[in-house]
Amino acid sequence: MRIYLTGFMASGKSTVGPRAAARLGLSFLDLDRLVAVHAGRSIPTIFAEDGEARFRDLETEMLRRTAETEDLVVALGGGALVDDDNRAFASQHGRVVYLAVPVATILDRVADDDTERPLLQDATGTPLSRDAQRTRIEQMLDERRPYYEEADATVDADRPVEAVVTDVVAAASPPTAPDPTEA
């Protein structure tokens, strides 16, 4: 079993993923962390020095490596499945679960953490104002939502973590059809 968690930044993939993995008896992998370890640099540094395109290439390479491990829950970066080949790969190699959250929740969550988020910075690396962040998040979410919605399952992630984990665990396996012989 392999589960790919997708959704916008701050949707809870890295928080829910390890807990869902533990409940399912699977290993957990954060794709962004794998990219950073492989590159030997932080993601903001990769963005600053090499640009988003290089980051996406590394992300794709690390995504492909997930097929080498069974029994895995993978937290994907928010833009990983915008790429058609990456979406097809994830669908072929596991079950994709979309953690859906509204813009207001994303804004609150990014304000409450200390993670550097290159996509919420200006060209000089300065964090955008809250209003500019809202605008950027709305634009990016509008662009990405159709890709997220191609997931095998969608979970409302604007709830307490344990409720989200429970729904991810339930979504990890496709529903079984009723046995027609038991009717």
Q: Which domains does the chain have, with CATH numbers?
A: 2-174 (3.40.50.300)
**Sorting pLDDT into bands at 50, 70 and 90, what band is 113?**
low
Q: Which two tokens stand for residue 60?
A: 């794709």
**Interatomic CA distance for residues 164 and 158, integer angstroms:** 8
Sign for the CA dihedral angle at 37, 81, 115, 24 comes to: negative
81 Cβ partners below 8 Å, 6+ apart?
4, 6, 87, 90, 96, 147, 148, 150
**Mean confidence (pLDDT) of the chain:** 88
Q: Given a cut of 70, is residue 104 above it in pLDDT?
A: yes
Report the residue count for the chain: 183
pLDDT digit string, tens, across residues 29-83: 999 999 999 999 988 889 889 988 999 999 999 999 999 999 999 999 888 999 9
Beta bridge partners of 3: 73, 95
**Interatomic CA distance for residues 102 and 118, integer angstroms:** 20
> For the residues of 28-51, what is the DSSP string, one character each?
EEEHHHHHHHHHTS-HHHHHHHH-
User: Phi first, then psi: what are they for 48, rounded to 5°?
Assistant: -65, -40
**Sorting pLDDT into bands at 50, 70 and 90, what band is 117?**
confident
**Interatomic CA distance for residues 27 and 75, integer angstroms:** 11
User: Phi first, then psi: what are they for 111, rounded to 5°?
Assistant: -70, -30
pLDDT digit string, tens, across residues 49-63: 998 899 999 999 999
Average pLDDT over residues 6-10: 91
**Interatomic CA distance for residues 84 and 60, integer angstroms:** 11
Average pLDDT over residues 148-177: 89
